[in-house]
Amino acid sequence: MAAELFRRGLRDHGRALVGWCAGAAAYVLFLSAIYPSIGSSPDIEEVIQNLPDAVKGFFGLGAVDLTSGSGFVDTELFSIVLPLIAIALGIGSGARILAGEEESGRLELLLAYPLRRRSATLAKGAAVGVELLALALVMLVALAAASLVFGLELPFGHLVGGVAGVGLLGLLHGWLALALGAAVPNRGLAIGVAAAFAGVGYLIGGLFSLASWVEPFRFLSSFWWVGQSPLSSGVTWWHLAVVAATALALLLAASLLFERRDVMTP
């Protein structure tokens, strides 16, 4: 049954997943360890206030207080690093699990077994989802632990929201890559287009507050939807629901697209 493809998807990517999780946890702990020395030094704030407004605006500096634990974690982790880790894992996994397997020729025998392409796609999408869930949980635990150990005093509700946003960001891009691979049997294309979407989203997310002509396009930025300072300002839950719904729509699209086309042999 298709559930076997879910199992295999996780198993085949298990080692890589452990690597991503360990890397994310290590980075969180390493960065948080720096906080005590920054939090007690008001000079940093002065340095930031002296930066050009455009730089501050793009990187979201100045809007938050870097000397507070929440502001520090928002700036150092949630603005780019954690989303990047989740997106990279999501895109890599989403592109590999369908288009990658197809390009390697391993999918042909499996699809000659009695299962629907729809179910196969959904099972593979579920494996990508569980990988991101695992990553998000590791991030949550690492951040909660770091908050206690290094005195970041992160509000737990905001922390959960922020990590959920990062996980959904990874899921959105992962299922986008899956859907691209379901439409065209090309792993490189799936990675490239999904990564470009992430890049554009990041740029718009950084620029919309600076350039008024960008502002109407902020809805196209996945980063804008999840929010870039979740610990200082909290997340807007219905925004996260929109991201989750979009991701689900992409997964559904993937299953329909893959149902229609010819399977490629290398």
Partner 1 sequence: MADAPAIATHGLTKRYRADVAALDGLDLEVGRGEVFGFLGPNGAGKSTTIRLLLDLIRPTAGTASLLGLDTRRDGVEARARIGYLPGDLRLADRLTGREQLDSLARLRGTTRPELRDTLVERFGVTLDRPIRELSKGNRQKLGVVQAFMHRPDLLILDEPTSGLDPLLQEEFRLLLRETASEGRTVFLSSHSLDEVQHAADRLALIRDGRLLRVDTVAALRAHAVRHVTVTFAEAAEPAAFAGLDGVRVESADDRVVRLAVPAGAMDAVVKAAAGHPIADLVSAPAQLEEIFLDLYRAPPDGG
Residues of the shown chain interacting with partner 1 in the complex, contacts defined by CB under 8 A: 1-5, 7-8, 12, 104-106, 108-116, 261-263, 265-266
CB of 225 to partner 1, least distance (A): 37
Given the complex with partner 1, which of 121 and 232 has the nearer CB atom? 121
Q: Using an 8 Å Cβ cutoff, are 102 and 185 in contact?
A: yes
Q: How far is the CB of 23 from partner 1 (least distance, A)?
A: 22
Residue 156 CA, chain-centre distance (Å), reads 20
User: Shortest distance, CB of residue 15 to partner 1, whole angstroms?
Assistant: 9
Is 121 or 229 the residue whose CB approaches partner 1 more closely? 121
Closest approach of partner 1 to the CB of residue 111, in Å: 6
Residue whose CB is less far from partner 1, 9 or 90: 9
* Per-residue three-class SS string for 85-112: HHHHHHHHHHHHHHHHHHHCCCHHHHHC
Nearer to partner 1, 76 or 101 (CB): 101
Give CA 157 to chain center in angstroms: 19
16-41: buried (b, 16+ CB within 10 Å) or exposed (e) per residue? ebeebbeebbebbeebbeebeeebee
Q: Which is nearer to partner 1, 122 or 243 (CB)?
A: 122
Of the chain, the end-to-end C-alpha distance in Å amounts to: 25
